[in-house]
């Protein structure tokens, strides 16, 4: 889900590292200060703060954060975590497909490390909650017409848009929810061009 392209191997982020960095970026944007280690542990359900410390040390080593000694919240973003702006193209449902909304609705700041042709969509619905995508979140989407198994995609079906996991098995293509209350969506054979892009990041605003 979190693809980093054209970067040296030792600067690539693992899934947990990427999620923690995005959380730190969002907290600084919202409150003007980074979260504490305990804030991060609580956000991601870590029982031990030491796990957070390990991830923070990795992010410092890879050049995305820097440490400021003597400060209670002594982590700062580096130039690698600076932001670009991508257009918000409206909303997409996390549920049954509904009519796609394609009108521009402003822009959203995203880390410069996210590469490619990007756009943002606001999520409506709860079919992807077990993937950590909640109603009201923004997904950052890399525009492309193909997907690999397990990637979260934006799909357009008969002019209607939705966000789901992509699955292709034995020539059968389905869009899978991350909520047992919702059913998979079957894609007709040879209709994989419904894919509009894959989700590369999620942003959540708490206020």
164, 168, 183, 201: which is the annotated catalytic residue?
164
- Mean pLDDT for the chain overall: 80
Predicted pLDDT of residue 4: 29
DSSP run (H or E) holding 185: strand 185-187
Burial of 173 (0-12, 13-18, 19+ CB in 10 A): buried
| Residue 127 among the catalytic residues | yes
| Residue 124 among the catalytic residues | no
Q: Where are the alpha helices (DSSP H) in the chain?
A: 15-31, 37-44, 49-61
Please compute the mean of the pLDDT values over residues 106-131 and round it to a whole number. 85
Domains of the chain as residue ranges with CATH: 9-81 (1.10.10.10), 83-203 (2.10.109.10)
Predicted pLDDT of residue 154: 93
62, 127, 198, 201: which is the annotated catalytic residue?
127
Using an 8 Å Cβ cutoff, are 176 and 131 in contact? no
Supply the pTM of this predicted model. 0.63
Where residue 167 falls among pLDDT bands split at 50, 70, 90?
A: very high
Where residue 87 falls among pLDDT bands split at 50, 70, 90?
A: confident
Backbone angles phi, psi at 190, to 5 degrees: 60, 25
How many Å apart are CA 14 and CA 12, to the nearest integer?
7
Predicted pLDDT of residue 33: 80
Residue with tokens 């521009």: 104
């Amino acid at each position: 889900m979190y693809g980093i392209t054209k970067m040296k191997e030792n600067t690539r982020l693992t899934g947990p590292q990427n999620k923690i960095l995005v959380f730190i970026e969002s907290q600084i944007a919202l409150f003007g200060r980074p979260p504490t280690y305990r804030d991060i542990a609580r956000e991601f359900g870590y029982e031990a703060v030491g796990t957070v410390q390990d991830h923070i040390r990795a992010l410092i080593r890879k050049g995305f954060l820097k440490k400021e000694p003597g400060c209670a919240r002594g982590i700062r973003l580096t130039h690698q975590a600076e932001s670009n702006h991508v257009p918000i193209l409206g909303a997409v449902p996390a549920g049954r497909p509904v009519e796609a909304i394609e009108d521009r609705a402003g822009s959203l700041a995203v880390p410069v490390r996210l590469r490619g042709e990007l756009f943002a969509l606001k999520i409506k619905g709860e079919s992807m909650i077990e993937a950590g995508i909640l109603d009201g979140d923004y997904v950052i989407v890399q525009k492309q017409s193909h997907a690999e198994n397990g990637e979260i995609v934006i799909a357009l079906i008969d002019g209607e848009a939705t966000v789901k996991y992509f699955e292709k098995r034995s020539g059968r293509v389905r869009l899978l929810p991350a909520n047992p209350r919702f059913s998979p969506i079957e894609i007709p054979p040879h209709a994989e061009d419904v894919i509009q892009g894959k989700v590369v990041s999620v942003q959540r605003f708490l206020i």
